[in-house]
Amino acid sequence: MGTINPQRVALGALLRDLRLRAGKDLAEIDKLMDWYDGKTSRIEVNGRGLAPAEAEKLARFYGATGSEQERLRSLTLASGKRAILPHVPDFAQSYLMFERQASEIAVFDDVLIHGLLQTDAYARALLSSSSPANLDRRVRERLSRQTILTKANPPAVRILLGESAIHQQVGGLGVMREQVQHLLAMAERLPTVSIRVVPFASGAHEGLGVGFGIVRVDDPAEMTRVYLESITGAMFLHEPNKIDTYQRVFEDLWEKVAADDRESGNILRRHIT
């Protein structure tokens, strides 16, 4: 999966809108720009591979207004910037770029504490299970993601945990006790962070065995993506019907299956007593 960021998505969408408004087809633009067949389509999908001079040529050809030209220029420059964490797998880079600019984040995980809420010890135990190489640097990179929670205008974050996540002995009893205390502290201290627990007693439900994240970005354009990760890769869903399905499942779990805020707090407290 190629690395994308919100600026690239917005750039591709703007180029597509300008082309359609001008009544031009993809093949015509490939020929105009002396590109290989299909490059226009690729750029409109992921916003990658467009030079500033090419953006200006397209803006003139499409008859873009002054404000559209300025936005196109800005997005082209921004889309070329890559803030890469060297020890994060390539397939996860796109998610992290969206996470940094998110206005809303909703995550469900049956068995793991999400990276935005992990303690140093929990992250260290988890990351060391795959490889001890560069462990200190990888832990720092993992924890650096959490700065978005306390920045100006932080995202609204909702975390749904399966009760298994607080029973799984990642790092041992002491590490898990500290981790659960941290969850309680974050939910109490940060008004933009909400945590609910799906208790064992809830039985079968639509999200059982499936972990996913939903990220909404408002700037440079409104967009929502669903992130699904496995050991060796990930999917970053953009199709509206698929996004709607995951949003519906999350809301059903949050409102109908999970314990409410107060009872979720009680479940967490019982685990550390």
> Measuring CA to CA, how many Å separate 91 from each of 123, 179, 226?
19, 27, 14
The predicted pLDDT at position 84 comes to: 61
> What is the mean pLDDT for each group of 10 consecutive residues in the chain (273 residues)?
75 92 94 94 87 93 93 86 67 84 96 96 94 90 95 96 95 96 96 97 91 92 90 85 97 97 95 82
**For 234-257, what is the HEC assignment?**
EEEECCHHHHHHHHHHHHHHHHHH
The predicted pLDDT at position 1 comes to: 46
Class of domain 90-272 as given by CATH: alpha beta
Q: How far is CA 234 from the centre of its chain?
A: 11
Q: Which CATH number is correct for 6-79, 1.10.260.40, 3.40.50.11900, 1.10.1270.20, 3.65.10.10?
A: 1.10.260.40
Instruction: Find where tokens 């591709």 sit.
Output: 12
Q: How many helices (H) and strands (E) does the chain have?
A: 12, 6
The predicted pLDDT at position 26 comes to: 95
The predicted pLDDT at position 92 comes to: 78
The predicted pLDDT at position 136 comes to: 94
H or E element, residue 56 = helix 52-62
Q: What is the residue extent of each domain of the chain?
A: 6-79, 90-272
The predicted pLDDT at position 9 comes to: 86
DSSP string, 154-179: PPEEEEEEETHHHHS-SS-HHHHHHH
